[in-house]
Amino acid sequence: MLIAGNWKMNKTASEAAEFCSTLKHRLSGIGGDVDVAVFPPFTSLAAAVRTLAETEIAVGAQNVHWEAEGAFTGEISAAMLRELGVYATLVGHSERRQYCGETDETLARRAATALESGLFVIACVGELEWEREAGETEAVLRRQVSVLSEDDRLVIAYEPVWAIGTGKTATPDQAREAHEVIKSLLDVPVLYGGSVTPGNADDLLGQPGVDGALVGGASLDLESFAGICETASRIP
């Protein structure tokens, strides 16, 4: 079971260091088969890596470019992340798709390069609200997943776009059905993301085929994030 916290554009380096320092003590006695990772913004990665050194809590980036270097203003390479001690990266988050022009093809290029560089990758997929209402969820997931290949370091996060930052959450049955589709295409762990909270984590994480959660807003609050991690540790 993997619980990953995507901080998005939140927490300065000093705030990240303070949060991580408290988190490592808060989760020091966590039992069960649960892995924990945090994904700070680029400017807070080094502080998080330093603070979480010699713990089991991994640090990941929110994005990575497919080229090793070059004229790509605002982008970060896999080698830059590896040198910092970063363990993993997200690719293809719906906010990157919406605001930064990400596509299935750029997701695939970013994922392939990151995996080749030794990073773990969480690739994000999920349908828009109108696509679900039109009965196109399975078709969307098949299209998005088709650009990826199985890898021991690949994880997929199913994030229904209509449930990200909206307070809406997929029902346990909706989450289970989407995860079944994804797992029928690739034999990799699949996380659920989309307004995960301590209040709904037990129902969502207890569904067959749900291998953890990619947590957004709730990962910014120490007690909420720790509560989700502790819930995951109790899932059989």
Q: Is 93 a catalytic residue?
A: yes
The 3-state DSSP class for residue 76 equals coil
Question: Which H or E run contains 230?
Answer: helix 222-233
| 39-43 contacts, C-beta under 8 A, 24 or more apart | 39/4, 39/5, 39/6, 39/7, 39/88, 39/90, 40/7, 40/11, 40/16, 41/7, 41/8, 41/9, 41/10, 41/11, 42/76, 43/12, 43/13
d(CA 189, CA 168): 23
Which of 65, 93, 95, 230 is the catalytic position?
93
Which of 95, 102, 127, 159 is the catalytic position?
159
Contact 101, 95 (CB under 8 A): no
Q: Is 69 a catalytic residue?
A: no
Residues assigned a catalytic role: 93, 159
